[in-house]
Amino acid sequence: MLQNILSIVIALGVLITFHEFGHYYIARRCGVKVLRFSVGFGKPIYRYVSKKTGTEFTLAMIPLGGYVRMLDEREGNVPDALKHQAFTQKNVWQRIAIVAAGPLANFILAVAIYALVALLGIQSLAPKVGHIIDNSLAAQTQLQEGDELVEIAGEAVSSWEEVNLALAGLIGQTRTIIVRYRAEGLSSIQQDQVVLNRWLVGEEPSNLIQSFGLLPWQPKVKPVIAQVVDSGAAQAAGFMVGDVITTINDEAMDSWQQVVKKVQTSPSDELTVVVLRQGQSKTLFLQPDATERDGKLVGYAGLAVVPPKWDESLIRERHYGVFAAMVYGVEQTAKMISLTIGSIGKMLQGLISLDNLSGPITIAKVASASADSGLQSFLKFMAYLSVSLGVLNLLPIPMLDGGHLLFFGIEAIRRKPVSEKIQGMAYRVGASLLFALMAVAIFNDIARL
């Protein structure tokens, strides 16, 4: 719980600060007086007032947003001596620049984070296929265990992460794509066609790679027990560290993967397990606990083995110089912006279910999981979240930056501002829409728990 809280506070704190600093910096450059720069909402827990500018900098209790309050004639009377510093006195292009600076700051931050990841060196796992799921999209190809994916629908892939991103862009599509791969033991590239027909429309897939019909290759692990979870089903059955599982229900177990599959497909069923303990066979009776995963009950025993050592040829490392890292940062940010906009468009078309919306609880869990996976994973999560924050704020919804930009754009075309009455009505509609979306996201979070 503590790690969840710290991870999300750090991630959101950095992203919100950069977003609001974008507004603040351009406002100051345009000669607008900034009254308050707040990170978070609610009661301030820290306050500092700049003697030079008079701006109040605050850190508030609820770290789920922030704001920059500027001198504005719409919020009250402004003394004549200060009117030239009011936001409303600036021309429409200056106001557009001030509002757009927040999302732009998020995109710049994402570029910087991705560039930092590249400078630190990117380590990834080659997309070597382990298994093809029957009657799946991947089963339309001639892919075999040991083959390595090279390209999906025109997107070059050199890691499972890139495979996942390529597949994310195909959700909801109806078309024929080309999958290119290198067959095991061959240097030449093979290719096959895969026919998509409204792929995953209305669904909430938890694993796109598996939904496509692929399981990543894994080295075979001997079923030698390295850990028995306290109070778990395996401990109740009498398992001990060092036990070697030989059979389950008279079926030979040659690898840990076989054991996992057998246990997961037997929730609450009693299994007869033969283990080799200190050279002697011993029979145990295991009744796996039943836990829900992706809407299905799966068995869980509470056992673990020593993680396998991966073939070094499958671990790909890429190192970048400063210039190449910046190029990588720009490319990755552009790719994430495109993916985010595409996903929003598909959601509006009904191709992606609203069940995929996530709120603060899911974000906190992902932040914690990425922090567990290491610095590189956490930085990538922050970069993607920064892109998401920037794109969402540019949506043409009143109350968001995009809504303000919409009004200013109309003003630039008409040469006069949109009436305050229309803006007020639009803001009320926009607030209602945002609250409704937040309610759906939080409901989805709770449902996932």
pLDDT tens track for 281-325: 999 999 999 887 766 789 999 999 988 777 777 888 888 999 999
Six token digits for residue 54 = 């008079």
In this prediction, residue 3 has a pLDDT band, given cuts at 50, 70 and 90, of low
Q: Which of 385, 316, 355, 51 is nearest to 162 (CA)?
A: 316
Residues in the chain: 449
How many angstroms separate the Cα of 216 from the Cα of each of 48, 145, 313, 421?
A: 52, 9, 15, 57
**Mean pLDDT comparison of 21-30, 127-136, 438-447, highest-scoring range:** 21-30
Name which residue leads in pLDDT, 447 or 74: 74
Domains of the chain with CATH codes:
109-121+319-449 (no CATH), 129-216 (2.30.42.10), 225-306 (2.30.42.10)
Lowest mean per-residue pLDDT among 118-122, 173-177, 258-262, 373-377 = 373-377
Give the per-residue pLDDT at 120.
92
CA–CA separation, 268 and 314 (whole Å): 37
Instruction: List, in order, residues 6 or more apart from 247 with CB less than 8 Å away.
Output: 253, 273, 274
Give me the sign of the Cα torsion angle 418, 421, 425, 427. positive
- Digit-coded pLDDT (tens) for 267-282: 989 999 999 999 999 9
**pLDDT higher than threshold 90 for residue 95:** yes
In sequence order, what are the beta bridge partners of 58? 38, 47
Q: Tell whether the model's pLDDT for residue 176 goes beyond 90.
A: yes
Q: Which amino acid is it at 89?
A: Q
385: nearest Cα among 402, 401, 365, 355 = 365
Q: Over 80: is that where the pLDDT of 216 sits? A: yes
Helix axes 420-448, 360-372, angle to 10 degrees: 60
Of all residues in the chain, the percent with pLDDT exceeding 90 is: 58
Encoding tokens for residue 159?
């890691």
- Tell me the pLDDT band of 449, cut-offs 50, 70 and 90: low
- Give the residue-averaged pLDDT of 43-55: 91
- Does the structure show a pLDDT above 80 at 87? yes
Predicted confidence (pLDDT) at residue 70 exceeds the cutoff of 90: yes
Rounded Cα gap, residues 84 and 275, in angstroms: 82
Neighbour-count burial for 108-142, b at 16+ CB within 10 Å, e otherwise: bbbbbbbbebbbeebebbbbbbebbeeeebbebbe
pLDDT beyond 80 at 448: no
Average pLDDT over residues 397-403: 90
* Alpha-carbon gap, residue 89 to 30, rounded angstroms: 11
At 156 the pLDDT is 93
Q: Of 20, 148, 151, 162, which one is the catalytic site residue? A: 20
**Which one is predicted more confidently, 85 or 364?**
85
Is 292 annotated in the active site? Answer: no
Statement: residue 1 has pLDDT above 70: no
Q: What average pLDDT does this structure show over 344-372?
A: 78
Calculate mean pLDDT across residues 115-128: 92
CA distances from 256 to 37, 270, 272 (A): 55, 19, 16
**Residue-wise pLDDT tens digits, 237-259:** 999 999 999 999 999 999 898 99
pLDDT of residue 373: 75
Round the average pLDDT of the chain to a whole number and report it: 89
Q: State whether residue 106 is helix, strand or coil.
A: helix
| Alpha-helical regions (H) of 131-207 | 160-168
More confident residue, 355 or 254: 254
Which residue shows structure tokens 């303000």? 404
Whether the pLDDT of residue 201 is over 70: the answer is yes
Q: How confident is the model at residue 116 (pLDDT cuts 50, 70, 90)?
A: very high
What are the Cα distances from residue 339, in Å, to 87, 197, 345, 414?
34, 20, 10, 33
Query: Which of 82 and 441 is assigned the larger pLDDT?
Result: 82
pLDDT tops 80 at residue 362: no
Worst-scoring range by mean pLDDT, 160-169, 195-204, 232-241?
Answer: 195-204
Predicted confidence at residue 253, as pLDDT, reads 93
Give pTM, 2 decimals.
Answer: 0.81
